[in-house]
Structure 1
Amino acid sequence: MTARPIGYYVHHHGAGHLTRARVIRDATNLPVTMLGSRIGAEGIALPDDRLDEGFDGRDHAADRPKVLHYAPLDHDGIRSRVARIAQWIEHARPALMIVDVSVEVAMLARLASVPVLNVRLSGRRDDPAHLEAFRGAQALIAPFAREIEHPTTPEWVCAKTFYAPGLTDAAPVQSTASGGVLVILGEGGTSLTAQAIAEAASACPQHQWRVVGNMSAPPACPTNLVFAGWCESVGNEVANASVVVGAAGNGVVGLVMASDRPFVCIPEPRPFGEQHATASGLQLAGAAIIHPSWPDAQDWPAIIASALALDPAVRRTMYDPQAASKLARWLEEQASARGTQEMAA
């Protein structure tokens, strides 16, 4: 017996989509082929589909059908991209297609007669394009806890969803709780400035501050602040911090919750209010300290104290250490339900 592959479309924005794809691929016993713009030799490389003026999830075209978000006209990259995906589907005959995330790719796979599993991100996603993509999917995957579901999400969408709050590549690390404040800058872009971080560190001389991410130190940097640049061992950095400060992307939130660290969450603007919805859910649950923007320097001592006072039992409900293995078994059930097993040639 041999299994037909699972296709996994990986969105290019930020690091979270690719991290999640790797975690799912490594957890399942089924063969997984990744397709995307930034996956290199790990799968099927796709041409870039972005417009020159940037990408925010929509193309703002007046004549775009309501069931699509991003379908700019006369774009060579999109033509090649659609053809490459369709060609792979024709030859590989995938049992399932996980789409993380794109309404258009989900619709393309569905049109190509492939059962689709849509990854759902946080935020208000009750527009026609999202809802029709969800309706056409065999099932949905949410990489967050059911407790932080957006209140506008229809019940039928929730009922169709497998919640997996813990799809992170964080490895178990023995925490030293060094007393430091760690600021994480994700790859999806940030509104923070080095000067604002330096002022916050100056206001908290009793704490060591460390910044990981693509940001250089300001000209006047306090002695208790280090800009470490990007590092591959972010999990170690998080586990060894006393307090973590970061945005509300699924990757950062999952990593912090997996490491069970007090969290000060400052959501960044993202399409469909994704990060603000996640932050709101964390706040309602009491799992993090939330600020809509970077606080004034003099407020940071009290903010850190509030984060340290959070009940750790609450944030532990935001993370399931078995999420990847549970999702993998569920995926295998989804594939089996479609009769994916074939006799070996």
Structure 2
Amino acid sequence: MRPIGYYCHHQGAGHWQRATLLADALDRPVTLIGTETGRSAHQRLALPDDRLDGFDGRDGEAGRPEAFHYVPLRVPAIRERMTRIAAWVAQADPVLMIVDVSVEVALFARLLSVPTLVVRLAGLRTDTPHLEAFRSAEALLAPFPAALDDTGMPEWVRAKTIHAGFLGLPAQAAAAEDGSILVIYGRGGEGGTLSDLVAAARAVPERAWHVLGPVSGEVTPAEAPPANLHLHGWVPEVGPFLGRASLVVGGGGDGVVAAVAARAKRFVCFPESRPFEEQTAKARRLSALGAAVVCEAWPTPHCWPEVVRDGLALDPGRIAALASPDAVAVTAARIAALADRLDRHRD
């Protein structure tokens, strides 16, 4: 059986998590391709890191062709990455390449005569490079429900898209909520600031605040963290904290939103800055659906009590309605059907 290649981008953890879940659900062999592929039972093709400092989605080259985002000149790691991908394609003869995400890899796979399934993230991605990558693909895969899609996307793009829903593990049975507030910082962002968290916890002293992920900065002895603020850093399992929380505060990344929706948690969303308004666009749709309270910036201390009240007043059924417990299985079945069709077409 011809394999599927799955390219994973190295910003944040969501690409790798999606790839692993889908690969586990597919009967075909899958090779995970990328710089930070982590642990997996699947075949892996490791690529050298080609990132430039301060990369914001574009390489800044004055003469960059309009079809690309990232083609800086004289970067040996890029040559090595593409060489390894081409060598793997020549050896493995994949039936399909899933690209999550890279315009350049999507178009390179097409140049290598490999059909692609291109992951389309949230946000208004109507620039030339994205549209050319979308045009080159057999189909597009959106890792969010159709209700969160940006209304400004062209109709032909939406029609070509498989809206997979949130691709995460189904929520396990959890303990009863204990009134706590859970703040989550993911791997793709800058993390939290200690002084902001101290001020927020002091502003709402009647609730325990649990913080997961990186926190930076210092405070004076007079601003020492109060007893209701608990900094846990990275934890192996977020589920127990989510299960007990009465309110979740976090960014608009796929992983956080999926976890909150799966557990029907009231959500205060702080969209982080991303290219193409990825998190901002998603947050706007969550707000329009009544599924989250959205704050464009970290509130001042005197605003926090109102933010918490508004968050606790949300109907958790609104965000729960966006989750589908069988999203991974259904999406894997659609990928398998696409691969089978491509195999038959080749014969």
> TM-score if structure 1 supplies the norm length?
0.95
Is the Cα–Cα contact under 8 Å of residues 170 and 325 in structure 2 kept in the other structure? no
The DSSP-based 3-state class of the residue aligned with 1:242 is strand
Which residue of structure 2 lines up, in the alignment, with residue 49 of structure 1?
Answer: 50
Indicate conservation of the 8 Å contact 1:20/1:167, yes or no: yes
**Residue type of the alignment partner of 2:240:** N
Q: Tell me the SS of whatever aligns to 1:339.
A: helix
Structure 2 unaligned spans of 5+: none
- Looking at structure 2, the residues matched to 176 and 299 of structure 1 have their Cα atoms a distance apart, in angstroms, of 28
1:6-45 to structure 2, matched below 5 A, reads 6-40=4-38, 42=40, 43-45=44-46
Match of 1:4 in 2: 2
Tell me which residue corresponds to 1:241: 245
Q: 2: CA distance between counterparts of 1:37 and 1:190?
A: 20
Is 2:327 the partner of 1:323? yes
Number of matched pairs: 340
1:182 Cα deviation after fit: 0.4
Equivalent residue number for residue 278 of structure 1 = 282
Highest relative contact order (Cα 8 Å, sep 6+), 1 or 2?
Answer: 1
**Dislocated runs of 4+, deviation >3 Å:** 216-219, 340-343
Paired position in structure 2 for 1:73: 73
Q: Is 1:338 aligned to residue 334 of structure 2?
A: no
- 2 CA distance for matches of 1:235 and 1:114? 38
- Partner of 1:117: helix, strand, or coil? strand
SS at match of 1:338: helix
In 1, Cα distance between the equivalents of 2:169 and 2:70?
Answer: 30
Residue 173 of structure 1: how far off its partner (Å): 3.0
Distance 1:83 1:116 in 2: 18
Deviation at 1:212, TM superposition (A): 0.4
Query: Which residue matches 1:312?
Result: 316
1:4–1:341: 8 Å Cα contact kept in structure 2? no
Q: Deviations over 1:169-190 (max 9, x none)?
A: 3541323211110000111123
List runs of 5+ in structure 1 lacking aligned partners.
Answer: none
Q: Tell me whether 265-274 or 174-183 shows the greater mean CA deviation.
A: 174-183
Answer whether contact 2:8 2:15 (CA < 8 A) is retained: yes
What letter corresponds to residue 318 of structure 1 in structure 2? L
Kindly provide the CA deviation profile for residues 67-105 of structure 1, in whole angstroms up to 9, marking residues without a partner as x.
Answer: 100000110000000000111111111111000000000
Distance in 2 (CA, whole Å) between partners of 1:341 and 1:171 is: 39
Structure 1 range deviating more: 237-246 or 172-181: 172-181
Counterpart mapping for 1:140-179 below 5 A: 140-169=140-169, 171-179=171-179
CA distance in 2 between partners of 1:341 and 1:6 (Å): 16
**Preserved contact between residue 217 and residue 227 of structure 1 (Cα < 8 Å):** no
**Any idea what the Cα deviations from partners look like across 1:158-208, whole Å, max 9, x if unmatched?**
111111122013541323211110000111123631110110110111100
CA spacing shift, 1:41–1:202, aligned 2, 3 Å: closer
SS of the counterpart of 2:248? strand
Larger mean CA deviation between 61-70 and 331-340 belongs to 331-340
- Are 2:208 and 1:208 aligned? yes
How far 1:228 sits from its partner (Å)?
0.4
**Is the Cα contact below 8 Å between 1:101 and 1:118 reproduced in 2?**
yes
CA distance in 2, matches of 1:22, 1:87: 23
Give identity over the alignment, percent. Answer: 47
CA RMSD of aligned residues (A): 1.7
**Secondary structure, in 3 states, of the residue corresponding to 2:33?**
strand
Aligned to 2:109: 109
Asked whether the equivalents of residues 177 and 246 of structure 2 are also in contact (C-alpha less than 8 Å), the reply is: yes
The CA deviation at 1:40 is 4.3
